[in-house]
């Protein structure tokens, strides 16, 4: 996981996101997956702070491992990704448009989990903060 910077913050955040197709219909075949991944990378270009580490799907759900800057709410990121990919897939594949007849292709809701550093490393880092203030080099403490 990379350490990233904004103007006034430094962060290291990565999220595991999962959501399913509406009614758990199994339409994410290999050729649909290819187009979905293509659209995800187009979205990433639009939001350069978002970074997809891993992308995978089952036939009826999507898994993303991605970095999201703290200035974005997770709910807004997921909403943007789901809405833009839904529109794209319905336009690209007639059979998907027919299945859902004007509805979005994704089910309501999603799962999110943070992917963090080792908890013990964080505890040590916090405990040693006074040592840092006294001039000890703790570079690499979180690696």
pLDDT band at 120; cut points 50, 70, 90: confident
Query: How far apart are the C-alpha atoms of 91 and 74, rounded to whole Å?
Result: 26
Supply the pLDDT for residue 141: 54
The end-to-end CA distance of the chain, in Å, is 10
The answer on pLDDT for 138 being more than 70 is no
* pLDDT at position 5: 83
Would you list the domain boundaries of the chain? Answer: 4-116
Q: For the segment 33-54, what is each residue's pLDDT rounded down to a tens digit? A: 999 999 999 999 999 999 999 9
Give the CATH superfamily of 4-116: Transposase IS200-like (3.30.70.1290)
Q: What is the pLDDT of residue 115?
A: 82
Provide mean pLDDT across the span 94-122: 87
**b/e per residue 124-138 (b: at least 16 CB within 10 A):** eeeeeeeeeeeeeee
> 56 to each of 40, 78, 130, how far by Cα in Å?
11, 15, 43
Confidence class for position 142, pLDDT limits 50, 70, 90: low
| Predicted structure pTM score | 0.81
């Amino acid at each position: 996981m990379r350490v990233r910077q904004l103007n006034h913050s430094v962060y290291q955040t990565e999220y595991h996101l999962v959501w399913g197709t509406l009614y758990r219909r199994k339409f994410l075949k290999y050729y649909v997956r290819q187009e979905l991944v293509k659209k995800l990378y187009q979205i990433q270009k639009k939001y350069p702070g978002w970074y997809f580490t891993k992308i995978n799907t089952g036939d009826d759900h999507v898994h993303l491992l991605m970095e999201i800057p703290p200035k974005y709410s997770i709910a807004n990121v997921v909403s943007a990704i789901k809405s833009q990919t839904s529109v794209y897939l319905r336009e690209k594949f007639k059979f998907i448009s027919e299945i859902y007849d004007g509805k979005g292709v994704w089910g309501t809701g999603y799962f999110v989990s943070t992917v963090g550093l080792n908890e013990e490393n964080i505890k040590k880092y916090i405990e040693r903060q006074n040592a840092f203030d006294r001039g000890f080099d703790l570079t690499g403490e979180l690696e």
